[in-house]
């Protein structure tokens, strides 16, 4: 019998718990992480390793779906092991784990470009790890989301008791009589109805993203860079402090557009990109002189996130109205959906990334199923599509 109370035969044939390998040179941290994962009914730790070399020797035999991979380790560090793990198991999901230093933040973002699926900031000491409930919550959430996405792609069942994600067809607004097929994964059927897109040329572009967001942002914005001189671009990416400043640097290199971590009270300039700083919400407002400005606040997390997409979207809708274009990229959860509803209410436009190109189709999928999206676009097509809309074209 396994932890689900089912037989070994049933477990092998399907509905197995998510399988995780933990790779960290600290035995104490390996122990904490492994225990937390094993305590969850839908997760099991199938292997641990003290360095990348040990992980490479056992990743195939362990049949791991997700690897929690430390960056700094002896013999073989995480960055060296990452491409080798992906070569051995091409669709494995790797989460880079590092402490919150500028160097580690930069390495983590480079790891995403090299094939890692996500990152998680580790507390500074083993004592902090043991005391951090937020780290534990985020760890479990990322493992579940990434392993679920992998199984959906492979058409494999989720662990017993987990609900299949809502999927279905897309009914185009120009053809309300019937739904047309759209490439979505999963088993539960439903229907996604697209909102007819407004025809207004946008005055601003706002973007929300989470898991998989850094690589999607750099790809999308690099593809759209020639069209962005006429609008300000404001981004809320779920990230901790330090990481957001590094993300801004990566976007600046990818686009050659002035990009920075947003500051409280600064004027919003056309042709500039602003990234919400980790640990603060970014909202848009109007000064007493009528200038559009950025306001940062330290209010409680929204959707467990800080910064969160919903506050930015809602404030942008109030400021720009029907001349607002918004994009929701890959990410866990549903942050951005309520704000997207506010954007649609004032006549603005919502575009979401499609499932096939998303690392996790949580945020964009939630908005799509809420009926607020005017288009569902693959990341390779997002830049040209958004560029066309910014220039006054239609979806």
3-state secondary structure 104-126: HHHHHHHHHHCCCCEEEEECCCH
The residue ranges of every structural domain in the chain are 8-154, 169-390
What is the pLDDT at residue 387? 96
Q: Which residues are catalytic?
A: 210, 238, 335
Fold: same for 8-154 and 169-390: yes
Count CB neighbours of 367 within 10 A: 32
163: tokens are: 């609900």
384: tokens are: 């040209």
pTM of the model: 0.88
Cα 51 to chain center, whole Å? Answer: 27
Average confidence (pLDDT) per 10 residues, the chain, 395 residues:
42 74 94 94 97 97 97 96 98 92 91 95 69 86 96 90 52 37 42 88 97 96 97 97 94 98 98 98 96 97 96 98 98 96 97 96 96 97 96 92
What is the pLDDT at residue 127? 66
d(CA 35, CA 37): 5
> Which region, left, alpha or beta, applies to residue 227 given φ > 0 means left and ψ of -120 to 50 means alpha?
alpha
d(CA 37, CA 50): 17
What is the pLDDT at residue 166? 43
What is the CATH topology of the domain spanning 169-390? Rossmann fold (3.40.50)
Residue 252 φ/ψ, nearest 5 degrees: -60, -40
The CATH superfamily holding the domain 8-154 is Response regulator (3.40.50.2300)
- Alpha-carbon distances of 102 from 74, 110, 246, 249, rounded to whole Å: 20, 12, 8, 12
Under 8 Å CB-to-CB from 118, ≥6 apart: which residues?
93, 95, 96, 112, 142, 146, 211, 212, 359
326: tokens are: 């918004």
């Amino acid at each position: 019998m396994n932890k689900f109370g089912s037989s070994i035969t049933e477990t092998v044939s399907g509905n197995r718990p998510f399988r995780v390998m933990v790779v960290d040179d600290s035995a104490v941290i390996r122990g904490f992480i492994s225990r937390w994962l094993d305590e969850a009914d839908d997760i099991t730790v199938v292997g641990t390793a003290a360095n990348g070399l040990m992980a490479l020797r056992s990743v195939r035999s362990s049949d791991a779906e997700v690897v929690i991979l430390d960056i700094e380790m002896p013999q073989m560090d995480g960055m060296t092991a990452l491409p080798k793990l992906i070569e051995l198991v091409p669709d494995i999901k790797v989460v880079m784990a590092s402490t919150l230093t500028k160097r580690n933040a930069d390495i983590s973002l480079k790891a995403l470009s090299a094939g890692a699926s996500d990152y998680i900031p580790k507390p500074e000491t083993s004592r902090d790890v043991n005391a951090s409930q937020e780290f534990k919550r985020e760890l479990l959430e990322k493992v579940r989301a990434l392993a679920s996405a992998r199984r959906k792609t492979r058409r494999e069942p989720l662990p017993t008791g987990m609900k299949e994600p809502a999927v279905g067809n897309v009914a185009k607004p120009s053809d309300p009589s019937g739904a047309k097929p759209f490439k979505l994964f999963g088993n539960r059927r439903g229907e996604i109805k697209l909102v007819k897109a407004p025809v207004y040329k946008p005055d601003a572009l706002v973007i929300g993203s989470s898991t998989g967001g850094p690589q999607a942002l750099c790809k999308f914005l690099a593809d759209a860079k020639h069209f962005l001189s006429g609008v300000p671009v404001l981004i809320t990416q779920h990230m901790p402090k330090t990481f957001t400043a590094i993300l801004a640097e990566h976007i600046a290199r990818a686009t050659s557009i002035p990009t920075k971590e947003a500051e409280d009270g600064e004027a919003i300039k056309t042709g500039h990109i602003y990234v919400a700083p980790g640990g603060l919400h970014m909202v848009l407002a109007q000064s007493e002189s009528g200038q559009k400005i950025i306001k940062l606040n330290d209010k409680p997390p929204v959707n467990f996130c800080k910064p969160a997409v919903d506050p930015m979207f809602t404030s942008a809708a109030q400021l720009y109205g029907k001349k607002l274009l918004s994009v929701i990229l890959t990410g866990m959860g549903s942050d951005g959906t309520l704000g997207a509803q506010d954007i649609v209410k004032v006549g603005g436009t919502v575009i979401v990334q499609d499932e096939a190109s998303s690392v996790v189709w949580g945020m964009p999928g939630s908005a799509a199923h809420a009926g607020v999206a005017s288009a569902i676009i693959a990341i390779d097509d997002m830049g040209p599509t958004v560029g066309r809309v910014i220039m006054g074209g239609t979806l």
